[in-house]
Amino acid sequence: MPICVIGINHKTATTAEREGFTVAESEYKNTIEQLCNHPNIDAAAVVSTCNRTEFYLSLVKLNNWQNTAKEALSIDLASKAFYHYLDAACAAHLFTVTAGVDSLVLGETQIQGQVKRAFESSHSVTQNSEFHQLYQMALKTAKAVRSDTEIGKNPVSVAHCSVQLSRQIFGDLAQQNVLIIGAGETAELIMRYLINHGAQKITVANRTHSKAEKLASFFDKESHSLNDLPQLLPQNDLVFTATASPVALVTRNQTEQAIKQRKHKPMVMIDLSVPRDIEPSIKSMDDVFLYTVDDLQQVITENMNKRESMVESAKRIIDAEAELFAQWQKRQRHHDLLKQLQQRVTADKEQLLAKHLPKDLSQHHQQKIETMAHQLSKKHSHHSITALRKVIESGNEDHIKLMAEVFDLSMNNTK
């Protein structure tokens, strides 16, 4: 069956435009079921993140597939906010996404888990051979890109670099009390990276407590409002800030009081905000180690340059895997022709045996002759079957039709 992807992402649309098409992971199954109610959609998958929403569809027929998209998704493909790819190009796109090559942060790995959950949801609703193969090859390609290039070896987001810095300072994060001030995308990334590196005691604080509660509850962590900062600061060894506040939220006076309550046990503060959330004068305090975006920027720039140098190598791997998927898809699309030819060979063999095999032979001799007949038919049909398979993999429909005529095979049953 033909496949396509229809998507909107950070490169083609604003956040406001993307918001209208976001699908929560908890709604994947319901969305897939609704899409599969369309008569031209055999299977569907949804990949929806803060930077993209993509709908992967396995189509019953390719004719008027744009109308299918409009009817099932209410999307006008003439809009510049949306992109769409078919078959091999669709596979190449998914492979690029899964490998982190199409991400806002080049080479990030979080997208692999998101793609995995998307296709697991699809698999739980409907079984589809194209999607199964597509998903397996996407994971394989992402693994190859990460193992054969260095695209993901150097952290390039301020969130990732800040957590790496904290690991260099503390070593084991499991024993540290961590406070995250903010509840946006950067705060969520910090939370994910911290948890991935063993941090357990994490608290989220935000001006709007409901947002802090939403982020914290997703990871089963504690939440507070900013009014609780005077009580929270003394309790935490590591403080991250990532808000859009126009004024400093952590003052020198608050920090001095916190250090006194901590009996001068050192604190590490990492301010990822512009404007800054933490008063710059805190940097001069003896028992506080304050880092800002500027302290991380040089490392980020160097690492991004290293990652970008790996993009061409990653694309070569992706293109090669997409071509393999295209060949598989062509074999599947005309698999019935190969099956017909193999059945024809078997039927001819059985007919000859039934006509010429003497009835009075012993079972032992009958088996020998049948084995010989099988080997001969296999040997003589090998070149024909191989030639047909190569023509199918070429994708040339005229040549495929000609081969079908030569072998007197029916094209009516092929997809």
CB 269 within 8 A of CB 275: no
Instruction: Report the top-level CATH class of 158-295.
Output: alpha beta
Model confidence at 415, pLDDT cuts 50, 70, 90, reads very low
Q: Give the closest residue to 133 by CA, choosing from 397, 415, 338, 333.
A: 333
The encoded tokens of residue 297 equal 């920027």
What is the percentage of the chain residues whose pLDDT exceeds 70?
Answer: 96
User: How many whole angstroms separate alpha carbon 232 and alpha carbon 224?
Assistant: 9
Say which range, 3-12, 221-230, 234-243, 401-410, has the weakest mean pLDDT.
401-410
Instruction: Find the Cα–Cα–Cα–Cα dihedral 48, 54, 60, 62, rounded to 10°.
Output: 180
CB 296 within 8 A of CB 162: yes
50 carries an active-site annotation: yes
Mean pLDDT of the chain: 87
pLDDT (mean) for 250-266: 95
Largest CA distance in the chain: 107
86: phi then psi, degrees, rounded to nearest 5: -115, 145
The single-letter DSSP state of residue 250 is: B
Only one residue has tokens 């929560």, namely 24
What is the separation of C-alpha 142 from the centre of its chain, rounded to a whole number of angstroms? 9
pLDDT value of position 334: 67
pLDDT value of position 389: 77
Only one residue has tokens 């070896």, namely 153
Dump pLDDT digits (tens) for 22-70: 888 889 999 999 999 999 999 999 999 878 899 999 998 888 888 898 9
Residue 10: how many CB atoms within 10 A of its CB? 15
Burial of 261 (0-12, 13-18, 19+ CB in 10 A): middle
As a residue count, the chain comes to 415
**DSSP labels for 111-144?**
HHHHHHHHHHHHHHH---HHHHHHHHHHHHHHHH
Dump pLDDT digits (tens) for 133-191: 999 999 999 999 988 887 766 656 778 888 888 888 888 899 999 999 999 988 998 99
pLDDT (mean) for 231-249: 93
Dump pLDDT digits (tens) for 338-368: 777 788 888 888 888 888 788 778 888 888 8
CATH 3.30.460.30 domain range(s) in the chain: 3-153
Say which range, 134-148, 215-229, 303-317, has the weakest mean pLDDT.
303-317
pLDDT value of position 355: 80
Q: Which residue has the higher pLDDT, 60 or 208?
A: 208
CATH 3.40.50.720 domain range(s) in the chain: 158-295
Q: Give the closest residue to 137 by CA, choosing from 334, 317, 395, 332.
A: 317
pLDDT value of position 149: 86
CB 309 within 8 A of CB 325: no
Choosing from 36, 50, 90, 161, the catalytic residue is: 50
Instruction: Report the top-level CATH class of 3-153.
Output: alpha beta
